[in-house]
Structure 1
Amino acid sequence: MPTKITLIIDNPADPAAFETAYAEIESLARTLPRLRRVEAAKVWPKEDGTPTPAHRTLDLYFDSYDDASAAVADPAAGAFFQRLVGTGVGFTGLFSDLAEG
């Protein structure tokens, strides 16, 4: 079954500095083996001025759960996650089974 890894990236203390680092983070994500597609999004600000629930999402698509699991165990994932963690911004990662239809 096709699998998507979603990273929900928390709000950074310094959004401008994070955005500068993010270009490299996204580039490193694109080096993951067996990656089929990437969707990167920045969360819209809330209309009432309260903080957004997250700053960005990054969706990484693979043909299967096995491919996604192998990708996050690859040295390329080590560089990617190290750079993301190095920003000091927290994130949540989710593996999802993509329903076809």
Structure 2
Amino acid sequence: MPTKITFIYDNPTDPDAFEAAYPENLALAKKLPGITKVETSKVWPKEDGSPTPAYRTIDLYFENYDAASAAVSGAEAGALFPNVQEIATGGVRILFNHLEES
């Protein structure tokens, strides 16, 4: 079954510092083995100026759950996950998703 790993970055304490570190974070994520597709997004600000429910997301697509699990168990993940924790000053959630057909 196709699988997606989603990184949901909550609002950082210093958005400028996050943005400065984000390109390296994304480059490390793209090095995970077995990725078939990468999508990134930045959450639009709310019109009333209140905090958004999240700041950025990264979606990494894999052929199946086993490929995704192997990707987060290898040496590349050993470089990625400390970086994720370092830049995610507002918090981060990481989800494994089973993709359903629409």
Instruction: Specify every segment of 5 or more residues in structure 1 that has no aligned partner in the other structure, as ranges.
Output: none
- Structure-2 separation of matches of 1:97 and 1:87: 27
Q: What is the match of residue 62 of structure 2?
A: 62
Number of the residue aligned with 1:79: 79
The alpha-carbon deviation at position 44 of structure 1 amounts to 0.4
Give the number of aligned pairs. Answer: 101
Percent of aligned pairs with the same residue?
Answer: 57
Give unmatched runs, 5+ long, in structure 2: none
- Is 1:23 aligned with 2:20? no
Query: Equivalents in 2 of 1:18, 1:70: separation in Å?
Result: 28
Query: Normalized against structure 1, the TM-score is what?
Result: 0.95
Runs ≥4 residues deviating over 4 A = none
Aligned to 1:98: 99
Mean alpha-carbon deviation: is it higher for 87-96 or for 50-59?
87-96
RMSD of aligned C-alpha atoms?
Answer: 0.9
**Structure 1 residue matching 2:66: 3-state secondary structure:** helix
Aligned partner of residue 72 in structure 2, secondary structure = helix
